Structure 1
Amino acid sequence: MIVFHTILSNVYLGNIKNKKKKFLKNYISYNYNNFNYFNPKKIIINLFLIKKYLKNIFFKKKNILFVSTKNFLRELIYKYARSLKQHYICNKWVSGILTNTKNYKKNLNKSIILKKKRNMNFTKKEKNLFLKKEKKIEILYGGLKKMICLPDLIIITDVKKDKIAINEAKRLKIKILALVDSDDVIDGIDYIIPCNNNSVNCVKIIFKILFSEIC
């Protein structure tokens, strides 16, 4: 009952009424004060079905890539990706991360070389320049260090903001799980969680439910 009440108060507020998409019409419970409100029962059913799917993913030791370039969700993505020992992108999506993996691997190798150079006989100014370049690579590709092959699933928190990531995943037929609002287009998304994805508390609640028995 506590979880149900929390979902009611934090998760089920959608975007403004006139932006509702036909794809998510069945998930809208009612409209009030020009806002869409999701049906909490349908959200809960979706959550627990997806939770079973995620358990199976981890049981089979498959790879997940968390993707969220929203600044206010950065720490949350770090937390879950690291505790689950999975991969993540939460600063900027560089085109070709999935479709041209040679680029990010090349940059990660460059980071290793820069780190070695900082321990060699270079001037202080040169070492600071190496450190600056190394940090830039870490910000962009740090979450992909252990990603040897393409992920089996990518988890997206905003389909509009991370559209490039979705397009790349579609091309490679990688499964996509996305948190979607009432004005989002869900073509090509394999698993959806309708919710208020502009709320940190909402995303926290959803992640806690999905990964509570896995972390």
Structure 2
Amino acid sequence: MEESNISTYSSGFALNLDELEKAGLQYGHKLNRVHPKAKYFTIRQNNSDIAFINLEETRKSLVSALNAIKEKVQNQHTILFVGTQASARNKIQEIAEKYNYPFIANKWLGGILTNFKTLSSRITSLKEMENQKASGAWEQFTKKERQLLEKKLEQLEKKFAGIRQLNKLPDMLFVIDPQLHQVAIKEARQMHLPIVAVLDTDDDPNLVDFPIIANDSTRSAIDYILNKVDEVIQEGQKSVSLGKAEGVESSNTSQESTILLNDEVEKMKTPSK
């Protein structure tokens, strides 16, 4: 295989054009739906009415996005993952839960980012209800009252399941298909959060900081990209762990040196016989 067909990002993993094509990242939407600002990465093939994506642009954008994600991971920042469509929600939830990141896989609730104080109070209510139920405090209520409480608890759990551990604004937003999640993009821009987004030929790439130019609807394409994200998060967390281990070792060495130095000072203070 030609060397130009392979590109690597900072973690050392290769991005192969043949793999991108096999996963179907090159398929866009119909030509009449191409966004004016997406034309630089679209390709017309023969008499097809489908806009194809230039995979060189895909690879370039994916490298940039993966490096940005890795940097956030290494700095131990929080990434909020968003993907509510059927082709993305399971994989989004899988990766987020694997690395203990918050996620939205069902429905974006307006104000998650721009009205975070209210969101936090709702999450607090959810946790309080769970504690009350577990402690047996609900036993004092009638059967009908307990059923109403159960229903309210289920609703809160469904709404906030993926973001219940979110105790501050995230440091980055990762979105599959900005067209589908326009409110999330708008809120992130309003709060000046960096945005990584998998976007297609019908999207404006200028609305996000790190566009991943690719098919944003097919499961195989989404899975391929999220697998690369999985790899880079794993690499980032490994480097954090290594850094902590080296820090502990350095601290222990420093303590040993201080003890030895203190011993030498004490010997100098003690007059020789």
Q: Look up the match of 1:123.
A: 142
Q: Look up the match of 2:17.
A: 4
Aligned equivalents of 1:94, 1:188: Cα separation in 2: 20
From the superposition, tell whether residues 191 and 123 of structure 1 become closer, same or farther in structure 2 (CA, over 3 Å): same
Residue deviations 1:152-207 (CA, integer Å, cap 9, x gap): 11011111211111111111111111111101123421110111111111110011
Identify the match of residue 144 of structure 1 among 163, 166, 176. Answer: 163
Identify the match of residue 163 of structure 1 among 150, 174, 182. Answer: 182
Residue deviations 1:100-119 (CA, integer Å, cap 9, x gap): 11222121121123223432
- 5+ unaligned residues in a row in structure 2: which ranges? 2-14, 235-273
Preserved CA contact (<8 Å) 1:23 1:186: yes
From the superposition, tell whether residues 108 and 35 of structure 1 become closer, same or farther in structure 2 (CA, over 3 Å): same
With 6-15 and 114-123 compared, the bigger mean Cα shift is at: 114-123
Q: Look up the match of 1:23.
A: 37
**Is 1:205 aligned with 2:234?**
no
Q: Secondary structure at the match of 1:173?
A: coil
Aligned equivalents of 1:210, 1:104: Cα separation in 2: 27
Preserved CA contact (<8 Å) 1:13 1:195: yes
Count of residues in correspondence between the two structures: 215
**Higher share of residues assigned helix:** 2
Q: Look up the match of 1:95.
A: 110
Q: Look up the match of 2:242.
A: none
Aligned equivalents of 1:131, 1:3: Cα separation in 2: 50
TM-score, normalised on structure 1? 0.92
Q: CA deviation at 1:3?
A: 4.6
Identify the match of residue 181 of structure 1 among 189, 194, 200. Answer: 200
Preserved CA contact (<8 Å) 2:87 2:222: no
Q: How does 1:75-90 map to 2 (within 5 A)?
A: 75-90=90-105
- 5+ unaligned residues in a row in structure 1: which ranges? none
